[in-house]
Chains A and B, each alone.
Chain A
């Protein structure tokens, strides 16, 4: 286990833990962004440049921003008074530890993963692009469709409903002066 891996692990786990435990929602979101940055670092450490940078671009640049935006727009940052831990948190911790135990045991006792040191592949961006355009072109297209559906859904859910729309039409639109 290298030093880099340890630092990244601390970053990821610490960020995730802080995201759960901090009292202010915005701090949680920032801690989550930190954890995502750690994840990007993990990819980079495994020589996956493309995935690492894409992770940073998408998760820190878009998802984290989206989360903080959502928190601010819904006025959710003032929820510090609500208890962080609900009554059943002990049970939750117990279940989480149980799952962790089972997973850890399975990973440690697995023969499939033991003993094979897989060489770290040096994937060039060009190869990834080629694959995305050949063998995985359908997957790429389906992701495009998925995002289209998500876009439609976001518009539908965010758009004021029909009655509200007609209500606002009575006010003169303010962008009429050219």
Chain B
């Protein structure tokens, strides 16, 4: 029996372990202390435990990072993954804070927050996996938690619909992905990404390898909501409880894109032909088509949406298209992609937060419900302005630099046609983002009823996110430098 250093494993997986324990503690606190108290108290009680846990985990990750590898890629902790994990935990923290709002009264807050934390743990494992088995397991763990979170509000048929759709699409795409992974194992004889790369290079243009890559691309395409695997996104974004939707739109996307890029760049990097070379391999064409269709369909469909959450969903699909450009750019696009997804996640959670405020007070999230928001909550309206403009990619904000770097990487990698398409659709997207802002700032409404004040935690979270988006926009180097250094250390 080979011996193994369990202490080392515990050290490497300390943040995940800590968050898991926090999740269990949330359950215990809600059960022991919260039983019998009012729903509001229970939310505050278990929510604050969860938020404290996230805060401590993020601080611990940031201040005392531990680097190393466990069991040849089962768990890799290097500066890059730690950076991603910090951002994941922060996004989860904001999601937890959003749940304090009374938008959707939570029947079982303890379980809800515990599942949020579990989903975060799954994403963190996903981030640090360099082993296809672990990638799949972590992906399933994350997805499972997110399915439950999407269906959490049992009173609402929309939430149930969201859960069912997410689950059905998710399980089928997971089946395809597993099939693909098993074929990869069959062809290459390994599940560790570097060895998979070597094996694929040996296999050359083997048809079985191509089938496997297509299937894996399908699985990831579902996770990141790229066309044509996007059908679940609008319903889930619209129907799921808002914090769940925010986490699905932000954290899940960050982790999935990161691991997608990692699998493609490390694992398939050695596949048929290197990225950007003359004869484009099949999966480059495949991802290119996915990116183009996502950009076009996402942006055009978003134009006609009345529900802001659906609008955000289609915008997310469009953004998935832009991010795929980053993956297509290969090693060159890795850093920009990471920057893009993190800033995108931040702005999206913020946008969902504002939507949750409106929905809690008007009962719906139609565009016209946003009319007069500026007069009621001027500061929060300004936050929404920042989020929307960042999503649209307006210069001094983070979204602009994300797009800028990704597009630049795409041009360098030689996908000029896709770059032009991205630029054009990006302009189109400005229209619908401005629609929202127009309603907020100049929309007319006869409704003069008094709106309840926003809970302090939600306002603070929104302000912090707006501040973050602005800060990263004005000083992109704050994050970008870290990413570049981390990438260099990791060896990309």
Q: Which of B107, B186, B204 contacts A162 (CB 8 A)?
A: B107
A112 and B144 contact, Cβ closer than 8 Å, known pairs A136-B74, A149-B118, A156-B111:
no
A142 and B111 contact, Cβ closer than 8 Å, known pairs A148-B118, A150-B144:
no
Closest A residue to B108 using CB positions: A156
Contacts of A2 in B (CB 8 A): none
Q: B59-80 CB contact bits vs A (8 Å, 1 = yes)?
A: 0000000000011101100000
- What are 24 pairs between A and B in contact, CB < 8 Å? A110-B187, A110-B206, A110-B207, A110-B208, A112-B206, A112-B208, A113-B186, A134-B71, A135-B72, A135-B74, A138-B74, A138-B75, A142-B125, A143-B137, A145-B118, A145-B122, A146-B144, A149-B122, A152-B114, A155-B111, A156-B111, A156-B152, A157-B148, A162-B108
B154 at the interface (CB under 8 A from A): yes
A105 at the interface (CB under 8 A from B): yes
A161 at the interface (CB under 8 A from B): yes
Contacts of A113 in B (CB 8 A): 186-187, 208
Of B1-9, B380-388, B409-417, the stretch lying at the interface with chain A is B1-9
Q: Do the beta carbons of B71 and A145 come within 8 Å of each other?
A: no
Q: Do the beta carbons of A139 and B144 come within 8 Å of each other?
A: no
Binding site for B on A (CB under 8 A): 102-103, 105-107, 109-113, 130, 133-139, 142-143, 145-146, 148-150, 152-153, 155-157, 159, 161-162
Contacts of B133 in A (CB 8 A): 136, 139
Give the shortest distance, in Å, between B211 (CB) and chain A (any CB).
Answer: 4
Cα–Cα distance between A106 and B209 once the two chains are bound (Å): 9
Give the shortest distance, in Å, between A97 (CB) and chain B (any CB).
Answer: 16
- Among the interface residues B9, B74, B151, which one has the most CB atoms of the partner chain A within 10 A? B74
Closest A residue to B133 using CB positions: A139
Q: Do the beta carbons of B207 and A105 come within 8 Å of each other?
A: yes
A146 and B148 contact, Cβ closer than 8 Å, known pairs A112-B187, A156-B108:
no
Closest A residue to B147 using CB positions: A153
Give the shortest distance, in Å, between B249 (CB) and chain A (any CB).
Answer: 20
Q: Do the beta carbons of A138 and B13 come within 8 Å of each other?
A: yes
Contacts of A112 in B (CB 8 A): 186-188, 203, 206, 208-209
Give the shortest distance, in Å, between A6 (CB) and chain B (any CB).
Answer: 22
Contacts of B211 in A (CB 8 A): 102-103, 106
B141 at the interface (CB under 8 A from A): yes
Contacts of A156 in B (CB 8 A): 108, 111, 148, 152, 154
Cα–Cα distance between A90 and B176 once the two chains are bound (Å): 22
B145 at the interface (CB under 8 A from A): yes
Contacts of A159 in B (CB 8 A): 108
**Which residues in window 113-151 of B have CB below 8 A to A?**
114-115, 118, 121-122, 125, 133-134, 137-138, 140-141, 144-145, 147-148, 151
B294 at the interface (CB under 8 A from A): no
Cα–Cα distance between A175 and B150 once the two chains are bound (Å): 35
Q: Do the beta carbons of B107 and A161 come within 8 Å of each other?
A: yes
Cα–Cα distance between A155 and B137 once the two chains are bound (Å): 22
Contacts of B481 in A (CB 8 A): none
B324 at the interface (CB under 8 A from A): no
- Among the interface residues A111, A136, A155, A161, which one has the most CB atoms of the partner chain B within 10 A? A111
Q: B188-200 CB contact bits vs A (8 Å, 1 = yes)?
A: 1000000000000
Binding site for A on B (CB under 8 A): 1-4, 6, 9, 13, 20, 27, 39, 70-72, 74-75, 107-108, 111, 114-115, 118, 121-122, 125, 133-134, 137-138, 140-141, 144-145, 147-148, 151-152, 154-155, 186-188, 203-204, 206-211
Q: Do the beta carbons of A157 and B151 come within 8 Å of each other?
A: yes
Give the shortest distance, in Å, between A153 (CB) and chain B (any CB).
Answer: 4
Q: Do the beta carbons of B74 and A139 come within 8 Å of each other?
A: yes
The 3 closest A-B pairs by CB, nearest first: A153-B148, A110-B208, A106-B207
A134 and B74 contact, Cβ closer than 8 Å, known pairs A110-B206, A152-B114, A156-B148:
no
Give the shortest distance, in Å, between B179 (CB) and chain A (any CB).
Answer: 9
Contacts of A135 in B (CB 8 A): 4, 71-72, 74
Q: Which of A109, A111, A134, A146 contacts B137 (CB 8 A)?
A: A146
A161 and B155 contact, Cβ closer than 8 Å, known pairs A138-B134, A145-B118, A156-B111:
yes
Q: Do the beta carbons of A149 and B148 come within 8 Å of each other?
A: yes
Cα–Cα distance between A113 and B182 once the two chains are bound (Å): 13
Give the shortest distance, in Å, between B124 (CB) and chain A (any CB).
Answer: 11
Q: Do the beta carbons of A134 and B1 come within 8 Å of each other?
A: yes
Q: Which of A102, A138, A153 contacts B70 (CB 8 A)?
A: A138
Add 9 more A-B contacts to A112-B206, A149-B141 (CB < 8 A).
A106-B210, A110-B208, A111-B204, A112-B209, A113-B187, A142-B137, A145-B122, A145-B141, A152-B148
Contacts of A134 in B (CB 8 A): 1-4, 71
Q: Which of B3, B4, B107 contacts A137 (CB 8 A)?
A: B4
Closest A residue to B17 using CB positions: A141
Contacts of A153 in B (CB 8 A): 115, 144-145, 147-148
Contacts of B72 in A (CB 8 A): 135
A130 and B9 contact, Cβ closer than 8 Å, known pairs A145-B121, A149-B115, A156-B148:
no
Give the shortest distance, in Å, between A74 (CB) and chain B (any CB).
Answer: 14
Closest A residue to B137 using CB positions: A142
A146 and B141 contact, Cβ closer than 8 Å, known pairs A110-B187, A134-B2, A139-B133:
yes
